[in-house]
Structure 1
Amino acid sequence: MARDDQPGSTLPRRQLGRALREARQGVGFTLEQAAREMEMSKTSVIRIEKGHNDKVKLRDVDEFGRLYELDDEQIDDLKNLAQQSSTKSWWAGTHLIKAGFAAYLELESAASELHIYHSSIVPGLLQSLEYARHVVRPFFPIDTPEDVEQRVALRMRRAAILTRQHRPIHAEFLIHESVLHIRVGSAGTMSRQLRHIADMSTRPNISVRILPFAAGIPGTWCPVLPYIILDFPTGSREFGNEPPVVHTETTMGTMFFESDEDLKIYRGIHESVREATLGECQSRDLLRQVARRYEQ
């Protein structure tokens, strides 16, 4: 779980670790050599390079930079990332967010594009306040009413990345038609939720496409867990582009996939699903049609 002393800035830590790894490889140092020169364990160097350390000392960053023959400007950039990694995120300090999901939230807040598939409930970013309350309660049965409200408030704040005025994130949602018919809350709750999705889909940065029952199992796609593909802004001045990542969440925890092979598989799945979905206008019409049925 997230704690007050637990920095949430996953992305700067990842960038710092990757930059140090590339610098080490650039001068031909093995992990063992770097650890010996830095008077650290090999495990410690690996953790820094993978961005797993909550905090990296500026002194260590400076020594790594000198060891890897970086110039002063490059070392200053590395130190800047180390300082950013200690910045608390807006969700820090709450006991309601698991550490794995906190790591995802940090990546989501820095992403430029999201490609999302869900087959059972409305994706969190598109949930209405009312729908979210009904989703949260059964998932966290020991929560107090105050905890439930705080979880819902956090979910609503998270969704602001879709509607913020400055660089709203581009998001593509592929949603199985079953989501429209799995009743969460009252008929009125469902009607208002589906109309909310339809309204959100009119925004230029949001695409919603429904995978209809009639599509069956399209192409090479097979039933998979819900997933989110995150792409990041290109052209970073300091260290190039942040690699994309796939996030999946199960009852037992969170998983991230980052290898080129895994990304290729998930992008292939996403393309197969997208090809079988209804167009954006058709999807919007279906959402509103099912909403009217709930109203009746």
Structure 2
Amino acid sequence: MVRRRVLARQLRALREDADLTLEQAAPKLDFSVSKLSRIENAQVLIDVHWVKSMLDLYDVGGARWTELVELAREAQQPGWWRAYGLGNVSYIAFETEASHVKVFTLGYVPGLLQTADYARALMRAVPVRRTGQQLENEVAARLYRQQRLRSAEHPLELESVIDEAVLHRPVGGPEVLREQLAELVAAAELPTVTLRVLPLAAGAHAALASEFNILTFDGLDEPDMAYVEHTLGALSLDKEGDVARARLTFERLVSQALDPARSLDLIRELAGG
């Protein structure tokens, strides 16, 4: 999805550089205006042959032609999560391409920091029908995502603020929670992870209504996006005003949270060691 968006934005810019309107370019490509508009807004999967025709029309050649055709091929590749039987999971697609993720959670440990047993208990609590195999596939996919926190080639930087209540909620039972807290201690020592706890003593704060993520895509010319997950679904936001509010909210949470060292001390204390 991210590469499709990058490609779509570049194709739109090339059309505009060629001084062609949608109405002028579409018939030359044997497209309807609405089809070309959907392509330029990343609303459809872009065929490589379409891209070649568009580049020829816009008089793009050489290394630029090769680069964009290759990007079109990459945008067509199925995501790694398909191997786990997962469908079109938009958040995973965005996270896979992100370089940095800021996460605030109210009710549970962030997915990138969950143990298998903790994740399994969370999924069982949600009223979604799954077979046993589907459940295990989703848990395995969640653990696969975590590998990027330890990857040297394609690392993901995680900055997380966790509400202190999360550290007391016995998801899966007391033993599962203890193991989860121990995993948080280990994860907090990774160079890619910055973990803060928002103490209960902070009282009212800017994100009492919902948790949220902010994703950054360095090197892809893709704007930051905010992602809000709630009980009945999820919402992705990429308008600059929305993302700016999300950044400001996260900064306020950081200002109220314990610093990483004190947060780690609290987690160790609750983990019993």
TM over 0.5: yes
SS at match of 1:244: strand
Q: Deviations over 1:105-130 (max 9, x none)?
A: 12211211111111001111100111
Residues 52 and 160 of structure 1: CA distance in aligned 2, closer, same or farther (over 3 Å) = same
Equivalent residue, structure 2, for 1:52: 43
Post-superposition shift, 1:157? 1.1
Give the gaps of 5 or more residues in structure 2: none
Task: Tell me the secondary structure at the aligned position of residue 60 of structure 2.
Answer: coil
Change (3 A) 1:233 1:134: same
Deviation of 1:43 (Å) = 2.1
Q: Which moved more, 1:102-111 or 1:198-207?
A: 102-111
How much identity, in percent, do the aligned residues show?
Answer: 30
Within 5 Å, give how 1:116-195 maps onto structure 2: 116-140=103-127, 142-195=129-182
C-alpha separation between the residues in 1 aligned to 2:271 and 2:84? 35
Could you say which residue in structure 1 is the equivalent of 2:13? 22
Other structure's SS at 2:35 match: helix
Tell me if the contact between 2:194 and 2:260 (Cα under 8 Å) persists in the aligned partners: yes
Contact 1:117 1:173 (8 Å CA) reproduced: yes
2:214 to 229, 240, 257: 229
**Contact 1:61-1:75 at 8 Å conserved across structures:** no
Evaluate the alpha carbon distance shift between residue 224 and residue 72 of structure 1 in structure 2; reply closer, same or farther with a 3 A threshold. Answer: farther
SS across alignment from 2:222: coil
Long gaps (5+) in structure 1: 1-9
Question: 1:261 aligned to 2:241?
Answer: yes
**1:7 matched to which residue of 2?**
none
Partner of 1:213: 200
| Structure 1 position 108 matched with structure 2 position 88 | no
TM-score, normalised via structure 2 length: 0.93
- TM-superposition CA deviations, 1:221-252 (whole Å, max 9, x none): 24242211111123x5xxxx222111222233
Distance in 2, Cα, partners of 1:222 & 1:186:
27
CA distance in structure 1 between the aligned counterparts of 2:168 and 2:107, rounded to whole angstroms: 9
In the alignment, is the contact (CA less than 8 A) between 2:84 and 2:137 conserved in 1?
A: no
Structure 1 residue matching 2:50: 3-state secondary structure: helix
For normalisation by structure 1, the TM-score amounts to 0.86
1:196 is aligned to 183
Structure-2 separation of matches of 1:83 and 1:222: 40
Instruction: Tell me if the contact between 1:162 and 1:170 (Cα under 8 Å) persists in the aligned partners.
Output: yes
Q: Is the 8 A contact 2:12 2:40 kept in 1?
A: yes
1:91 and 1:154 in contact (8 A); partners too? yes
* RMSD over equivalenced CA pairs, Å: 1.9
Rounded Cα–Cα distance in structure 1 between residues aligned with 2:204 and 2:180:
26
The one-character-per-residue Cα deviations of 1:236-279 (angstroms, maximum 9, x if unpaired) are: 5xxxx222111222233332111111111111111111111000
